[in-house]
Every structure is written in C-alpha cells, then in structure tokens.
C-alpha cells in the first residue's frame, strides 16, 4: 500500500501526516472549524429561528418590532457572500480573538456565516409543526415557554435534525473558503498545496477527504432523524 501511494500519489506522501501542512493537521483544522462554529452559530441559529416563529404576526408571542429586527439581521448576514464577510468583520474578529489570521480567527466569520442559514432552516422546521397541537397546548394552559420546548422543538426534532445535517454540510464548504485568512484545513490544502502547485494528487485526496466528511455527516444525520422520528410516533 505504501509503495502504491508513493508511486501514484507522490506529493500526497511527501506532504506527510504531521507538521504545519500535514494531512493530520489539515483534517484536525477542518474538524475544529466545523465543530465550534456549529456550536456557536447553532445556538444563534436556534435562537433567531425560534424568535422568527413565535414573534411573527399571529405567533404565540407576537412582537412585530422584534420579528422585524431579527428578520432583517438574518437576511443581512445571509446576503453577504462569505468571502466578503471574512474581510468585513476582520476588526470584530481582532477584537474577539486577538487576531485576524489563523484557524481560531476563522471561527468568528464561520459562526456568523453559518447562523443565518441555519436560522432560516430552523424557522422552516418549526413552522412545519401542526398548529392544532399548539392550540391544544394553549387550551390546557401551557405557557409560551412550554409550547416552545414541548411543542415546537419537540414535535419538529426530526425535521430539525435534517436541517442541521444540511447546514453542517454547508458549513464544511465554508471552511474551504476560510483559507483566505490563513485558516488551513483541507480546503486550503487542496488549493495552496494542490491546485496552485499543479499537484493534482493532493487536490484529489483533499477533495475525497472532504467528501468523506460530508458523507459521514449525512449518514449520522439520517440515522438520528429516523430515530427521533420513530420516538415521535
């Protein structure tokens, strides 16, 4: 196997596993840039998604001002191309993490690039809940907090898993562009060490590894969606 890779993927072997540009380092950076933005951006996404549903006209906590502000914030960040967002919020990134370059610096724009897309996905998932169940909960005296957690989030959990899966796959794609701020990762390896240096074998392997990560996320998401859907029955 080693001889096969050395013969057909010489640049991949030469790049090695460890070191600043090694495959192990690149994989770790991609996972790092996927996990933390998913946590931070996910919290913001759920928060804004819930607000967009409960504060909308006719919602259980109708607040037109809050809904309008939240809707505009989500729409604004979603409209900004990610590569421009990287540069636009550079001063804010500097303020938060103390630097504008590197893997940790990429977490800020990645989180802000992830949350509006996820917020819209959460909004759609929650709006799919049968309104009759919400009315039934109100009829028995459930509070708005109860309705949010026990009706909206509980009844929509299967759909929430599905939209989370889609959003995470999108986030993996954003990590590739994060190389513009020296964030590293598999996307940066594919471009900087593969495409730019005409090392096609590196580009191919980096792409396959990204695809493998996407497939794993999709498979795990499908299994979890089916599991929670079964629990809802």
Q: What is the CATH number of the domain that holds 45?
A: 1.10.3720.10
Whose tokens are 């759909």? That residue is 159
C-beta of residue 118 within 8 angstroms of C-beta of residue 164: yes
Number of structural domains found in the chain: 1
Residue 4 inside a domain? The answer is no
C-beta of residue 186 within 8 angstroms of C-beta of residue 210: yes
- Cα 77 to Cα 117: distance, rounded to the nearest angstrom: 9
Residue 9 inside a domain? The answer is no
Cα–Cα distances (Å) from 168 to 2, 64, 98, 114, 148, in that order, read: 33, 30, 26, 8, 23
* Residue 66, SS3 per DSSP: helix
Q: What is the pLDDT along the chain (233 residues), one digit of tens a residue?
A: 567 767 777 888 888 888 778 899 999 999 999 999 999 999 999 999 999 999 999 999 999 999 999 999 999 999 999 888 988 898 998 998 888 888 888 999 999 999 999 999 999 999 999 989 998 998 998 899 999 999 999 999 999 999 999 999 999 989 988 876 678 899 889 888 888 888 889 999 999 999 999 999 999 999 999 988 756 55
Residue 226 inside a domain? The answer is yes
């Amino acid at each position: 196997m080693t001889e096969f890779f050395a013969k057909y993927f010489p640049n991949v072997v030469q790049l090695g596993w460890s070191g600043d540009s090694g495959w192990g380092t690149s994989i770790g950076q991609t996972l790092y840039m996927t996990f933390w933005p998913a946590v931070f951006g996910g919290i913001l996404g759920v928060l804004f998604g819930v607000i967009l549903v409960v504060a909308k006209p006719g919602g259980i906590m109708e607040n037109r001002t809050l809904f309008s502000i939240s809707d505009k914030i989500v729409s604004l960040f979603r409209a900004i191309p990610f590569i421009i967002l990287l540069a636009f919020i550079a001063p804010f990134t500097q303020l938060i993490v103390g630097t504008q370059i590197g893997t940790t610096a990429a977490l800020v724009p990645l989180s802000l690039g992830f949350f509006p897309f996820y917020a819209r996905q959460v909004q759609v998932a929650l709006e799919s809940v049968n309104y009759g169940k919400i009315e039934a909960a109100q009829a028995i005296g459930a509070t708005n907090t109860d309705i949010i957690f026990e009706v909206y989030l509980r009844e929509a959990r299967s759909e929430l898993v599905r939209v989370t899966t889609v959003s995470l796959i999108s986030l993996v794609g954003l990590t590739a562009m994060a190389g513009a701020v020296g964030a590293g990762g598999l996307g940066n390896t594919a471009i900087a060490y593969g495409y730019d240096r005409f090392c096609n074998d590196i580009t191919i392997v980096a792409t396959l590894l990204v695809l493998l990560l996407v497939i794993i996320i999709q498979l795990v998401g499908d299994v979890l969606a089916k599991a929670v859907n079964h629990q809802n029955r």
